[in-house]
Structure 1
Amino acid sequence: MTTTTTKSAYLAGLRDGAPFVFVAGPFAVLFGVLATEAGLNLFEVMTFSLVVIAGAAQFTALQLMQDNAPTVIVLISALAVNLRVAMYSAALTPYLGAAPLWQRVFVAYLLVDQSYALSHARFEAVPQMSVPQRVAYYFGSCTLVMIFWFGCSFAGAALGTALPAELPLDFALPIAFLSMVAPMLRTLPHLAAALTAIILSLLAVEVPHSLGLLIGGIGGMIVGAQTELWLKGRHA
């Protein structure tokens, strides 16, 4: 492997990750604005984004804090929303597990929905990539998204309530998840898990502190896993 091929892998990741800035940017601005309106100062908003780097969990925690939910509920809910990252990590380990420790530390720090979705799809499509090339692609896929995430979080927090209320920034979250999840619904277990999570979340919409989402997520994972076991047993 040459430096050129590693550079090419990084540039490929940079190119593939570029479209997600149109989601990460507005999403980060919205978080900065809402966090400021919730009473956080600029330092607290940026610390939140730099330490957590998990938009969905940050919005969940912020909403629950605004609703004066108990601290334990805020923590459990944010952690539950981020449980998917543990599954992302397990899925990427076969491809990146042999990388040096310092690289794996940064891989873990930068692991978000976009970096996982792009990298896992690329590694499956191009299995002959070496570990250094995979790491380069992964970091390339993160670069622009992270720049926009931190920069726009700062902009949103700095602008605060100066932005017009009718600015449609809240479109970013559903579009981001739809663009990442939809292409992955390729098997019966995936479809079963998604459908179960949707139904349970809707049925539990009145559960306090948005815990209906947790019920839907846990139920979806259980049904998806059981469906996969059923299919394996049937094939056996």
Structure 2
Amino acid sequence: MSLEDVRAALPVALPVMMGYLAIGVPCGVMAAEAGLSPLAAFLLSATFYSGAGQFMMASLALAGVPLVSMVASVALVSTRQLLYSAALAPYLRSAPRPLAALFAATVTDESFGVNLSRLAGDASWTPVRATVVNVASMLSWAVANAIGALVGPALAIPTAVMSFAMTSIFICLLAGQRWSRATVVVAASSAAAVVALKALGAGSLAVLVGALVGVAAGLACASGARGGRASR
């Protein structure tokens, strides 16, 4: 890793880092309410590193949900990481195993979106730079959680505000994508599936299924486009 890689990656990571600072503090506040110290909140955020999972863990712990049910719920929500691995694996084949392992351990929803678009469309974007984005984002998230746990007892942040802060990051990432027919199909299919499943009472499962529906719709759209070109 060179200084040039860091200089190239940090501006790309900055929007994600700023968003993580905004939502990490409320997550840390909830962690403090569940009994975690600032150090514990930092270590959890730097090792488990899942915004949705950490919000869920704090909420379930405060609700008195049994540990087994808590682990199962968080694991189910986190299965979307399998989709990220499948999408990113082709771009990391040449990376050394320690670097690939660090990259895989520090991928989240937002850094996945940023890095996938760069790896697919920018020849200068390397696994090293992608990993710098991941690690910088992770550190900002962990620090924000520690700050939230430290000042938590003095703050009262409405849950609705916390939830929308996380949603707003996804909206910003979506707006910054290169829009194509496939992008529109994926976004529309995923959104429609999540809304429909939420209305049916699917709960957290709606996010996972919605992501799968979006991926399937995108693959079908891409396959149809290739078939159309081949028949000409």
TM-score normalized by structure 1?
A: 0.80
What is the Cα deviation at residue 224 of structure 1?
A: 5.0
Give the number of aligned pairs.
222
In the alignment, structure 1 residue 161 sits paired with structure 2 residue 153: yes
Report the AA paired with residue 19 of structure 2: V
Query: What is the one-letter code of the residue matched to 1:186?
Result: T
* CA distance in structure 1 between the partners assigned to 2:203 and 2:159 by the alignment: 28
1:88 paired with 2:84, answer yes
Q: 1:230 to 1:63 in 2, by over 3 A?
A: same
Q: Residues of 2 paired with 1:89 and 1:121: CA distance?
A: 14
Deviations 1:108-160 (A, max 9, x none): 1111122211111111112x34xxx5122212323432232121211111112
Give 1:197's aligned residue: 194
Q: Distance in 2 between matches of 1:216 and 1:76?
A: 15
- Correspondence for 2:114: 118
Whole-Å separation in 2 of the counterparts to 1:35 and 1:89: 28
Contact 2:80 2:208 in 1 (8 A): no
Q: Does 1:214 align with 2:211?
A: no
- SS for the counterpart of 1:75 is helix
Matches within 5 A, 1:181-196: 181-183=174-176, 186-196=183-193
Unaligned stretches of 5+ residues in structure 2:
none
Work out which of the residue numbers 54, 57, 75 in structure 1 matches 2:50: 54
Match of 1:176 in 2: 169
Q: Note if contact 1:17-1:145 (Cα within 8 Å) is conserved in structure 2.
A: yes
Paired residue for 2:35? Answer: 39
How far 1:217 sits from its partner (Å)?
2.9
* Distance (Å, rounded) in 2 between the aligned partners of 1:230 and 1:113: 22
Q: Is the 8 A contact 1:27 1:173 kept in 2?
A: yes
Check the 8 A contact 2:193/2:209 in 1, yes or no.
Answer: no
Write the letter of the residue equivalent to 2:147: A
- 8 Å CA contact 1:198–1:216 kept in 2: the answer is no
Report the 3-state secondary structure (helix = DSSP H, G, I; strand = E; otherwise coil) of the residue aligned with 2:60: helix
Distance 1:64 1:183 in 2: 33
Question: Using the alignment, how far apart are the partners of 2:139 and 2:207 within structure 1?
Answer: 32
The answer as to whether partners of 2:9 and 2:132 remain within 8 angstroms in 1 is: yes
Identity %: 25
Asked if residue 30 in structure 1 is aligned to residue 21 in structure 2, the reply is: no
Alignment check: 8 A CA contact 1:24 1:172 kept: no
Tell me the TM-score normalized by structure 2.
Answer: 0.81
Q: Name which of 63, 70, 74 aligns with 2:66.
A: 70
Change in CA separation of 1:114 and 1:233 when aligned onto 2, cut-off 3 Å: closer
Partner of 2:138: 146
Aligned residue identity for 1:55 = G
Change (3 A) 1:47 1:143: closer
